[in-house]
Amino acid sequence: MKHLLKMLDLSSEEITEILNLADQLKYEKKHGIPHKLLEGKSLGLIFEKASTRTRVSFETGMYQLGGQPIFLSSRDMQIGRGEPVQDTARVLSRYLDGIMIRTFEQKEVEDLAKYGSIPIINGLTDFCHPCQILADLMTIREYKGKLSGLKMSFIGDGNNMMNSLIVGALKTGMSISVACPEGYEPDSKVIDFAKEYGNKFEMFRTPKEAVVDADVVITDVWASMGQESEAEKRKKAFEGYQINSELMSLAKSDAMVQHCLPAHRGEEITEDVFEAHADEIFEEAENRLHAQKAVMVKCLSDK
Ligand code: CP
Ligand code: NVA
**Ligand (nearest to CA of 161):** 2
Q: Which domains does the chain have, with CATH numbers?
A: 7-129+288-300 (3.40.50.1370), 132-285 (3.40.50.1370)
Question: Does the Cβ of 122 fall within 6 Å of ligand 2?
Answer: no
- Residue 129 annotated as catalytic: yes
Catalytic residue among 141, 259, 288, 290: 288
Question: Once rounded to an integer, what is the mean pLDDT over residues 192-203?
Answer: 98
Catalytic residue among 64, 157, 220, 258: 220
Residues of the chain with pLDDT > 70, as a percent, come to 100
Catalytic residue among 260, 277, 290, 292: 260
- Residue 53 annotated as catalytic: no
pLDDT of 283 reads 98
pLDDT of 303 reads 74
220: left (phi over 0), alpha (psi -120 to 50) or beta: beta
Angstrom distances, CA of residue 26 to CA of 146, 219, 302: 17, 25, 21
**How far is it, in rounded angstroms, from Cα 7 to Cα 303?**
23
pLDDT of 100 reads 98
Question: Once rounded to an integer, what is the mean pLDDT over residues 62-88?
Answer: 94
Residue 154 has pLDDT above 90, yes or no: yes
Find out whether 301 and 37 touch, Cβ atoms under 8 Å.
yes
pLDDT of 276 reads 98
Q: For the segment 239-275, what is each residue's pLDDT rounded down to a tens digit? A: 999 999 999 999 999 999 999 999 999 999 999 999 9
pLDDT of 68 reads 98
Question: Once rounded to an integer, what is the mean pLDDT over residues 122-150?
Answer: 98
pLDDT of 74 reads 86
The pTM of this model reads: 0.98
Q: Whose CA is nearest to atom 6 of ligand 2?
A: 224
Q: Whose CA is nearest to atom 1 of ligand 2?
A: 224
**Ligand (nearest to CA of 288):** 1
Q: How confident is the model at residue 234 (pLDDT cuts 50, 70, 90)?
A: very high
**How far is it, in rounded angstroms, from Cα 89 to Cα 139?**
33
Residue 302 has pLDDT above 90, yes or no: no
**How far is it, in rounded angstroms, from Cα 62 to Cα 54?**
12
